[in-house]
Amino acid sequence: MKTRIVVLLLALFYCHSISFAQKEFVNTSVRLSGHPRLLLQKGEEKTLKKMIMKDVIWKDIHQSLLNEAAEIVQLPLNERIKTGRRLLSVSRENLRRIFILSYAYRMTRKGEFLKRAESEMLKAASFSDWNPSHFLDVGEMVLALSIGYDWLYEYLESETRSIVRDAIVEKGLDAAAPDEWFYRAASNWNSVCNGGLLYGALAVFEDVPDKAKKIIERCLLTNPKALSAYGPDGGYPEGFHYWGYGTSFQVLLIAALESALGTDAGLSEYPGFLESARFMEFMTAPSGEYFNFSDAVNGVRCNMMMFWFAKKMGDLSLLWLENQYLENPSVCFAEDRLLPCLLIFCAHQDLSNIQPPSCHFWHNSGKTPVFIYRGGWNSKEDSYLAVKGGSPLTSHAHMDAGSFIYERKGIRWAIDLGMQNYLSLESRGVNLWDQSQEGQRWGVFRLGNMAHNTLTINNKRHLVNSYASINRIYKSEDMKGAEVDLISVFADDMEKVVRIIYLNEEDDLIVKDELVTGEKEALVTWIMVTPAEAKIIGKNQMELAKDGHRMLLTVIAPGDVEMKLWSNEPLHAFDEPNPGSMRVGFETHLPANRKNLLKVTLNLIR
C-alpha cells in the first residue's frame, strides 16, 4: 500500500510539472526580469556585503574568493585539452574561473576581474565544441558561460555578448538532442546536464525564445526522473559523493527557476528530496570520515548546498557539522568551483544559534537502503554503525550488499576502500562501465565483493541482478542495527541468507549471518576490511590494534573455521594500491541442506 501511495504521489507531481510547463513556461511572451536574473539578482550585492561585515567567517570566505580571482587573473587562459574521453576538467575549471571572477567584479567593480572573465568566456566560446559525446562537459560549460553572460551582461562589450550568446546556443542548447539519454537518467547526469542547459536557456531567453522555451519545457518534463532517485524517504542511491555532485546542480537548477521565474514548479517538493539533506548529515561519522559506499572518495568537506537545504526546511540543525567545518581556517569545500553559492545561500539566514540534531538514527529504503546509528554529535569518540543493502546495478555501485562501517573510540575499525579513479582504469583499457555478471568492472579489486565487509559464497561474485533489502531496524539501547536480506545476492548457491548487524548496550559490534544451504555444501568467506594491525591469537579469535586501542574479534560457528588475514595488495596492474589496510575474517564449509548461524563479535579490550 505504501509503495502504491508513493507511486501515485510521484505521478501527481510529474503531471503537476507538465501542467505548469504548459501554463507558464511554454508561453514565449513571458517576460523575465532584466540581467542579472540567475541566483543573485541586481542589487542583491548589498545584502551580501552587510552579511560579510557582520561575521568574520563570511568575511574570510569573501576575501578568499577575491584572492582566488586575483590569482586567476595571472593564469594563462584555459585551453581545450581533453583527458581521455572527457573535457570535464576544463569545463569545471572554466566554471570555477568565470563564477569567481563574476562574483569578484560584482562585489568590487574592479576592471581586472571583468576583463579576465570576458577573456575566459571568449576563449571557451572559440572552442570547436564542448565535447557533447560526454554531455556532463557541456552541462558545466554552459553553466559557466551563462553565469558570466548573465551576471556581467551590462558591462560586457556588445560584440562579446553576441559571441558568448551564440556559443551558449550553438555549443550548448543546440548540442542537446531531444532524445539525449541523460533526460531518462535517474542520476547526477540528469541534474547536471539539465541544470546547465536551463541556465543557458534562462540567460539568453530574449534572443532565442523558441529554443529557450523548449529547453525549459524539456527540463521540467524530465528532471523529475532525477528527483525520483531521492524517493521515497531521502536516501540517495549513488552515495554521499554523487549526492554532493548531482544535488549541487539540482539545487542550482531549482534556485535558477526561483530567481528568474519566481517558482521552482514544485520540483523541491518531490518525495525525499529535501529529506536527503538529513541523509547527507548522517553520512558523516564522528571521526569526520564519510560512509563512502559506491564510487566515493573520503575526506572532510563542507557542503555549501546544506545551507540552501537548511533555509528551505527551516532547520538549522542540518548545519551542525558544516558550521564546525567553517571554523577551520583550512576548510575544504565539496564542489568548490561553486563557492560563491555559499554566501548567496546564507543571505537572509540567522545562523547564530545552530543546535545539534536531536536524532541518532537514520534509515531509508529505495534503491540503496541504508541504516545508520550515530551515538552522538559532540565527540569524535562517539560510536557509529552504518549498514547498506541495494544492488550492483545501481549507478556507481559496488558489490557490497550487506557491508558495514564501524567506528569506536575515534577509530574506524571497519572501512570501505572507496572508489578508484576512473581515468586510471579507462586509460588501461578497463571497461569500467560494464556491469554485466562477467563485466570487467567487477574485476577491479576495490569494486568486487572480496574487498568489502560482506560475505562471499563459493568464491563467486555477487549476482548483479540482485537486490538486498533492509527488512528490519533495531533502535533499542541494547540493539542498534539492521537486518539485511541477502538471498537474491546468493540465489544460485543458498536457500536463505539473512545478515543482522548491530551494536549492543556497550556499543560492541555483533554480526549474525543466518544461512540455509541447498543440495550442495557451501564455502563461506567472511571479510572485514580494516586499517588496524591484526594477529590470530586462537582457534576462533584474532586481535586488532590501532592507535593505542585493541579489539577482540571472536567467531562462533557450527563447524570448524579457518581464521584468515589477507593482504590488500593489488591483484592486477590496473588496481591502485591500498596502503595502511588489510582484510580479516575467516572461511568455513557449510554442509548441504543445513541451517547455520555464524556469529562474529568485535569487543573493545579494556
Alpha helices by DSSP H, 246-315? 248-261, 276-282, 305-313
What's residue 33's pLDDT?
Answer: 82
Is residue 4 classed exposed, middle or buried when 0-12, 13-18 and 19+ CB atoms within 10 A define those classes? Answer: exposed
The C-alpha torsion from 472 through 478 and 481 to 487, rounded to 10°, is: -60
Q: Report DSSP letters for 104-119, one per residue.
A: HHHHH--HHHHHHHHH
Q: How far apart are the C-alpha atoms of 581 and 474, rounded to whole Å?
A: 30
Instruction: Output the pLDDT for position 92.
Output: 98
Residue with cell 561553486: 338
Residue keyed to cell 588501461: 428
Q: What residues contact residue 50 under an 8 Å CB cut-off, 6+ apart?
A: none
Burial class for 543, CB neighbours closer than 10 Å (0-12, 13-18, 19+) = middle
Residue 455's closest CA among 245, 600, 337, 298? 600
Q: What is the pLDDT of residue 595?
A: 98
What the block records as the C-alpha cell of 28 is 514565449
In whole angstroms, what is the distance from residue 122 CA to residue 595 CA? 70
Q: What pLDDT, on a 0 to 100 scale, did the predictor assign at position 15? A: 45
pLDDT of residue 28: 56
Among 202, 210, 215, smallest CA distance to 29 is for 210
The grid coordinates listed for 67 are 584572492
Q: Alpha-carbon distance 295 to 425, whole Å? A: 13
Which of 282, 293, 319 is closest to 304 using CA atoms? 319
Residues 589, 592: Cα–Cα separation, whole Å: 10
Cell numbers for 8: 501515485
The CA distance from 497 to 598, in Å, is 11
Using alpha carbons, select from 398, 520, 509 the residue that is nearest to residue 450.
Answer: 398
Between helix 56-73 and helix 111-125 the angle, nearest 10°, is 60
Tell me the chain's radius of gyration from C-alpha atoms. Answer: 26
Spans of the chain, pLDDT less than 50: 1-24, 26
Apex CA 107: angle with CA 41 and CA 347, to 5°?
A: 55
C-alpha closest to that of 604 among 538, 523, 518, 544: 544
pLDDT of the residue at 31: 73
pLDDT at 17: 42
Please name which of 570, 239, 303 lies closest in space to residue 420, comparing C-alpha atoms. Answer: 570
Task: Give CA torsion, residues 84, 88, 90, 95, to 10 deg.
Answer: 180
Whether 435 contacts 448, CB under 8 Å = no
CA atoms of 258 and 39, how far apart (whole Å): 8
Q: CA 520 to CA 532: how far, in whole Å?
A: 36
